[in-house]
Amino acid sequence: MFETITIYGAGAIGGWIAARLAASGRVPTLIARGQTLAAVQENGLQLHEKGRLQAFSLRATSRPADLGPQDLVIVAVKAVAMADVARHIAPLLGPDTVVLTAMNGVPWWFLQQGFGGAASGRPLHTVDPGGAIAGAIAAGHVMGCVVHVSCARDAPAVVRHNRGERIIIGEPAGRITPRAQALQALLQSAGFRAELTPHIQQEIWYKLWGNMTINPLSAITGATADRLLDDPLVRAFASRIMLEAREIGARIGIPMTESPEDRHAITRELGALKPSMLQDVEAGNPVEINALLAVVCELGQLTGVATPDTDTLLGLARVHARRLGLYGSD
């Protein structure tokens, strides 16, 4: 079913997925730019995994128009790059193209396809200002995805897989469809622990529940996750934010029985974790504040849930990022 595959974004996650697919014989094309594009074209995509280094010779381009319609497009960029993807993705989209969004945070399509209770169908301006992304990628193309792995980019086109194999996919409308089953089979054949769910928004929200606090707090302080949770005042602040998000989740159809302390215990198992937002700050890359925090505040407004602690963290995070020149959107 998926004969032509393009991966949009060759960072840590996109590179890992591309390498795994190539190793299984389903060689994708990469959309990349700058140093990453040059590195792939000169040396191939390199993957450090399970104690060995593999290199894969892949076609790479910065121009989607070079490729034409694809059966599968895996979008593995930071949320801050989605507006640029939306401006250039059209040549890759045929009538039946599947667009798998392997991204952090709440995506633009979260309330589409009948999900969200009273908020269903409402646009999310914090992650899609003006509806440009929704206008460029029709809802029928989209397949949701949550990636539970730890990968890092050692250098342009050099990816290191640290831990985890789990990828969860699902239709935003909640159905189990033949295309979703075919995509699960494709990912499993490449060695991923691929799971199919009828509740992909719930999986996205649960991952966000931990990321929305530890990521920005780490970016602001420079501390790893364990040090943040060791401080009782910081942990209590994070817990209050998580309770606000839990109430929003309940109002859009994602009830949670876990407490913030339950989620903190899972994070503690990861030890001295350096979250992705801290890695971005250290590398001088734009940070995903809108997809992890601003959108939660927006959902609070849509559902009538007050978010004073989330608002505070949002303000602190964006002032910090603006000072570094890593955040330019309200």
Measured torsion, CA atoms of residues 127, 139, 169, 317, in degrees rounded to the nearest 10: 0
Decide yes or no: CATH 1.25.40.420 for domain 5-198: no
Where along the chain do its domains lie?
A: 5-198, 202-323
* Topology of the domain covering 202-323: N-(1-d-carboxylethyl)-l-norvaline Dehydrogenase; domain 2 (1.10.1040)
Nearest to residue 122, comparing CAs of 303, 249, 311, 247? 303
Residue 231 sits at φ, ψ, to 5 deg, of -90, 120
Burial 81-90 (b: 16+ CB within 10 A, else e): bbbebbeebe
pTM of the model: 0.95
| 207 classed as catalytic | yes
pLDDT tens, N- to C-terminus, the chain (330 residues): 899 999 999 999 999 999 999 999 999 999 999 999 999 999 999 999 988 999 999 999 999 999 999 999 999 999 999 999 999 999 999 999 999 999 999 999 999 999 999 999 999 999 999 999 999 999 999 999 999 998 989 999 999 999 899 999 999 999 999 999 999 999 999 999 999 999 999 999 999 998 999 999 999 999 999 999 999 999 999 999 999 999 999 999 999 999 999 999 999 998 898 898 999 999 999 999 999 999 999 999 999 999 999 999 999 999 999 999 999 754
Q: Give pLDDT tens digits for 112-166.
A: 999 999 999 999 999 999 999 999 999 999 999 999 998 989 999 999 999 899 9
The Cα 7–Cα 267 span in angstroms is: 29
Instruction: Establish how many alpha carbons lie within 13 A of residue 281's alpha carbon, considering only the half-sphere containing its beta carbon.
Output: 22
Among 50, 78, 207, 274, the active-site one is 207
pLDDT at 262 (0 to 100): 96
